[in-house]
A and B are shown apart, each in its own frame.
Chain A
Amino acid sequence: MPIVTHSDGRQGWQRRDTKARMLRWFGWLIGVAAFVWCWNRISETTTWFFVWDAPRIAGDILGRATPPRWSYIDKLWWPIWDTLNIATLGTIGALIMAVPVAFMAARNTTPSRLFVRPLALLIIVATRSINSLIWALLLIAIIGPGVFAGVVAIAIRSIGFCAKLLYEAIEEIDHTQVEAITATGASRWQVMAYGIVPQVMPAFAGISVFRWDINIRESTVLGLVGAGGIGLQLSASLNTLAWPQVSLILLVILLAVGISEWVSAKVRGAII
């Protein structure tokens, strides 16, 4: 009880009572002890020689990587175009699959809370929990290396993310607007189109550009495992220790991500 009665009968108030204060004190004690213990364990298993050496090595690599090999840019236009396409097509594919999943997962629109909803939630969790690089590895084994595997990997990986955010938006809609449309005698699909869809459109558009933005970053590394895009050049350059090329590729990726960020900020601003 934070309210205490003093001996002279006046009432005082403090944020926490004695028990809660003790609990918090012990919580902090345990936390600090765990931190110190972990610090020691990590320290024991670290080869400190390499760590002390790190600035020199990093400086060395930076020296070799500059200036970037500008002439290499001719070989990068096509892969960066592929990367953008993987991200865009993958996002579109993900959205097409995510919309029905989201409607099945939202409590207020699911056809069956007992059977369909858990299935939809399973799809969301399963697709989200596996990294796109691992999806790409799996898909390359199934459909062979190339851009298409990258597109499918990005699409599958994004379903869960898009569906989760969208179904949360669906659950937060204003229910009286849905009631009003239902009361006119509209059918289930008309209620969806008039009562629900207009309310979730801004969220849908926001989620789409946000995921597209993320997918551009993700698709830049897909080439590392052979699923198309600029990552292929990156891995080749890294393997041959061609640092000037690596630095140019990183600059190009930075530029692409910067542009995508600018575009998605513009689009989001226009919608909301």
Chain B
Amino acid sequence: MLRLEKLTKTYRTGDMALKAVDLEIPQGQVLALIGPSGAGKSTLIRCINRLVEPTSGKVWLGDVELTHLGAAALRRERRRMGMIFQEYALVERLTVMENVLSGRLGYVGFWRSFTRRFPQTDVDEAFRLLDRVGLLEMADKRADELSGGQRQRVGICRALIQNPALLLVDEPTASLDPKTSRQIMRLICELCAERGLAAIINIHDVALAQMFVQRVIGLRLGAVEFDGPPDALSPDVLTTIYGEEDWQATIRKVEDEEEEALA
């Protein structure tokens, strides 16, 4: 569904953020991307929808190659990739409804969007999504009146209303408390399962990633160091990704999880 071929990004400062990354993600797979700060996680997902222009390499979304597209074709393909951000990146001074509907901007013309006359089907879908994430009564509030967890749920609605095939998720829980973090991760994974979406989730919290995803990619200095199922993350693996540290407290054991399920 998504295939990266030798994707490379060299910043103008000379920093090699990505070193010929190869990666293939099948339909409906939720994947966590872990690695230390500066490993190139953010750059990787931004190179896929070209918020950052890759230096070389190819990105295949289905059977469309993205790195050579012109502006109009790129915008069409961006509609198929929903993005969720670390600090929510809602437009603070717009209402929740406007923020959700902004996910449809790729589908409606300028004047319709400027005068806020979105098609009724889009509005219906926006209400349905807000209801799904439990924010129906917030539709008319301004985005900056919401709490962190609520804002991130609006961000999820904005990504989903695009009707994407792929979700690019950049540190969705980094500014949230532990409980809200789990709720948001659970919500993202549930929605991916409901809709058969593939997702790449950048995440710092290794234990949280292990709880929810089917596959983990470890990135270090712009190169893939680990690719496997979450329970294959051993202390040795984490040491190759992050460097030497005592990992016993970080890796979740199966018993912990069961205890928690009982509690």
Contacts and interface: CB of A to CB of B under 8 A. Distances in A.
User: Do A and B bind?
Assistant: yes
B41 interface: no
Contacts of B76: 185
A182 B50 CA distance: 10
Contact of B79 (A179, A185, A190): A185
Best-buried of B82, B98, B102, B158 by chain A (most CB within 10 Å)? B102
A187 B75 contact: yes
A186 B105 contact: yes
B110 A189 contact: yes
A176 B89 contact: yes
A258 interface: no
A176 B85 contact: yes
B237 interface: no
A182 B113 contact: no
Contacts of B51: 179, 182-183
Interface string A166-196: 0000000010110111111111011001110
A107 to B, nearest CB: 16
A99 interface: no
A199 to B, nearest CB: 7
- Helix, strand, loop or mixed for chain A's interface? helix
Contacts of A201: 93
B173 interface: no
Interface in B171-191: none
Contacts of B98: 194
A198 interface: yes
Given A183-B81, A184-B79, A190 B91 contact: no
Contacts of B85: 176, 179-180
B83 interface: yes
Interface string B196-236: 00000000000000000000000000000000000000000
Contacts of A190: 105, 110, 113-114
B94 interface: yes
A185 B106 contact: yes
B113 A193 contact: yes
Given A179-B89, A190-B105, A194-B94, A185 B75 contact: yes
A184 B100 CA distance: 11
Nearest to A189: B110
B162 A185 contact: yes
A176 B79 CA distance: 18
Interface string B102-121: 11111100100110000000
Contact of B105 (A174, A185, A202): A185
A163 B81 CA distance: 36
Contacts of B105: 181, 184-187, 190, 194
Contacts of B79: 184-185
A174 to B, nearest CB: 8
Contacts of A183: 49, 51, 78, 81-83, 168
B257 interface: no
A194 B93 CA distance: 10
B145 interface: no
Interface of A: 174, 176-177, 179-187, 189-190, 193-195, 198-199, 201-202
22 contacts: A177-B89, A177-B90, A179-B85, A180-B85, A180-B89, A180-B91, A183-B83, A184-B78, A184-B82, A184-B162, A185-B78, A185-B162, A186-B102, A187-B75, A187-B105, A189-B110, A193-B110, A194-B98, A194-B113, A199-B91, A199-B93, A201-B93
Q: Which 6 A-B pairs have the closest CB atoms?
A: A185-B106, A186-B105, A185-B78, A180-B89, A185-B79, A183-B83
Given A180-B155, A184-B158, 6 more contacts: A176-B87, A177-B90, A177-B92, A183-B49, A185-B105, A190-B113
